[in-house]
Amino acid sequence: MPASPSTARAINDRSALGLLQDRGPLTAGQLKQLTGLSRPTVADLVERLGAAGLITVVGESGAARRGPNARLYGIAADRAHLAALDVRTEGVAVLVADLVGRVLAEASVPIEGDTGTGPAVQRVVAAVAGAVGRAGAERLHTVGIGAPGLIDPATGDLRDSAGLPAWHRSLSAALQERLPGARVTVENETNLAALAEQREGAARDRDTFVLLWLGHGTGAAVVLDGTLRRGASGGTGEIGFLPVPGTPTLPSATDCSGGFHTLAGAAAVVSLGAEHGLPTPATTDGPGAAGLVREAVERVRAAGRPAGAGRAEHGPGNRSAVAAGEHEPGDRSAGAAAGEPVATRGTGTGHPVGRTPRPVAEGRPVVGGGAWEEIPAAGEPVVARGADAETEADAGTTVGREASEGGPQESLGGEEPPAVGEPTDREPVTAADPAGTAVGADERFLSALADRIAIGAASVVAVLDPGCVVLGGEIGHAGGDVLAGLVAQRLRRMSPLPTEVRAGALGGSAVLRGALLTARDRAQDTLWSDPSRSPVPS
């Protein structure tokens, strides 16, 4: 049955608005070409959306012959204002943006551990109000909040979780009370990070992947066939509670100590660095642990150790992907045929939300083998090797050439990593070591960290077979392609399932970006659902 005229208009309006969001300002002629609609239909559409206050003339195309088609139409960015919040145990980050996602103001609110619920909530509400004022906005249309803990799928509220501050649960209601008319929504922080990495970061070419959050805490987000999976109780991805070898106890229903969190949380990473004689940060939070990992990676690179996990992508700050468990050459399910270069996409930071350029092929290499293998020469195709094709010499390769330096052999999956705080036979190496083995300490630290991360990643891969694991959060981002390569190396030997491992491109900022993306999507969905009922703001 053909669509009614009103339905057809709504479909055309949404199509045009989507094009303006993704591509930026367009002329009526360009809208006609991209939508396939007739000139009269486009003219009617432009007039209707303009009257609803959703689009406006933002300039001229510069065409030699001026006329109606030379006008550039864009989304009326000030039609609505949005706020995004990243709620952490120790404070909240806030930003305010316009309807296209352009950030207008930011704020940060530290919350000490002994702060009561009332004062903590008041500080955050005041910070949001201050950011709204600096952005020049009269009111907020939509607020997106990212917070740790479980989201009740029935109510959309944060569930009471042990170990999290009580003020977290009160914040949403307080903001709703202070911001009448605004739509306030809460989402798990790791889920929002996955959304941001898929839209703007390391997973833009993936419909199915798992984001492993490595920061102050640990978590996972699962995206299958383009859909974020939350589970029956909203607890999909609570990997911090995953029982794993190498811990002195088991987690409980109210405490993740003894689970994967004990191996890969920020405090555990800092403790592991101290065991290897590395300078430890003043704080054991996500940024502190990330700094420790970043410095270790930088010293390895500065020493000329080739990061065989992959070469840097084209573009500043981008890290390449690596593959684990590839099938034999020629098997397209492994992600690339033998000898075939693997395409990638850039991260595209610094653009308004939803306006990130998406190049088709920028040369994301996929490689196998140890994390310290030699890098192929420039221009040489990078081949993903299958586990079956791995030679005995490859299987015995030690990370960072540790065998020649007296370091431990690489774990093949059967060896349990030491428990946190357990004595180890690895002697700390100082920077003043005349033998020049200080970099060996960095390599051994990264190797031991990869052992731990791979345990959690292998569990996820065995159950979900996602094909791609993104190491997100501050620690995953800091480790870059070096840490991703080490984890991929272990996964290849622990699992028969082909799994690509990538470093997150957004780090700790992914939660805030995901909250803003969610707020923008919901605001646009509301405003664009029926332009005829969207009055022009006063």
Over residues 62-90, the pLDDT tens digits come to 655 555 557 899 999 999 999 999 999 88
Q: What is the layout of strands, in order, in the sheet containing 183-188?
A: 103-110, 91-98, 81-88, 142-147, 183-188
pLDDT at 486: 96
In this prediction, residue 111 has a pLDDT band, given cuts at 50, 70 and 90, of very high
Taken as a whole, the chain contains a residue count of 538
pLDDT at 113: 82
In this prediction, residue 517 has a pLDDT band, given cuts at 50, 70 and 90, of very high
CA angle 469, 321, 223 (to 5 degrees): 30
Q: What is the mean pLDDT of residues 477-503?
A: 96
In this prediction, residue 381 has a pLDDT band, given cuts at 50, 70 and 90, of very low
pTM, entire model: 0.74
The residue with tokens 């002994």 is: 114
In this prediction, residue 133 has a pLDDT band, given cuts at 50, 70 and 90, of very high
pLDDT at 437: 59
pLDDT at 304: 78
**CA 110 to each of CA 89, 151, 354, 480: distance values in angstroms, whole numbers, following the listed order:** 9, 23, 29, 28
pLDDT at 6: 83
- Alpha helices of 62-157 — where are they, by DSSP H? 117-134
Q: What is the mean pLDDT of residues 157-173?
A: 81
* Both structure tokens of 65: 């012959």
**In this structure, which amino acid lies at residue 480?**
G
> Please, what is the average pLDDT of the chain?
77
pLDDT at 317: 35
The answer to whether residue 410 scores a pLDDT higher than 50 is: no
The answer to whether residue 529 scores a pLDDT higher than 70 is: yes
**CA 114 to each of CA 90, 109, 126, 165: distance values in angstroms, whole numbers, following the listed order:** 10, 15, 19, 10
Please tell me the distance from the alpha carbon of residue 146 to that of residue 160, in angstroms, as a whole number.
15
Please tell me the distance from the alpha carbon of residue 291 to that of residue 278, in angstroms, as a whole number.
12
The answer to whether residue 407 scores a pLDDT higher than 90 is: no
**Nearest of 41, 75, 69 to residue 55 by alpha carbon:** 75
pLDDT at 166: 84
Q: Pick the more confident residue, 359 or 138.
A: 138
In this prediction, residue 2 has a pLDDT band, given cuts at 50, 70 and 90, of low
- Looking at the chain, the whole-number percentage of residues with pLDDT higher than 70 is 71
Q: What is the mean pLDDT of residues 329-333?
A: 33
Of 43-47, 139-143, 154-158, 466-470, the range with the lowest mean pLDDT is 154-158
DSSP 95: E
Determine contact, residues 508/473, Cβ cutoff 8 Å: yes
The answer to whether residue 25 scores a pLDDT higher than 60 is: yes
The answer to whether residue 39 scores a pLDDT higher than 70 is: yes
The answer to whether residue 183 scores a pLDDT higher than 60 is: yes
pLDDT winner (highest mean) among 25-34, 162-171, 326-335: 25-34
Q: Pick the more confident residue, 417 or 52.
A: 52
* Both structure tokens of 270: 């800092």
The answer to whether residue 336 scores a pLDDT higher than 50 is: no
Q: What is the mean pLDDT of residues 497-518?
A: 96
Q: Pick the more confident residue, 538 or 454.
A: 454
pLDDT in tens, 255-290: 888 999 999 999 999 999 999 999 989 888 999 999
Please tell me the distance from the alpha carbon of residue 361 to that of residue 383, in angstroms, as a whole number.
16
The answer to whether residue 159 scores a pLDDT higher than 90 is: no
Q: Which residues contact 78 (CB under 8 A, 6 or more apart)?
A: 98, 99
pLDDT at 464: 96
pLDDT at 61: 79
Q: What is the mean pLDDT of residues 319-335?
A: 37
| C-beta atoms surrounding 227 within 10 Å | 10
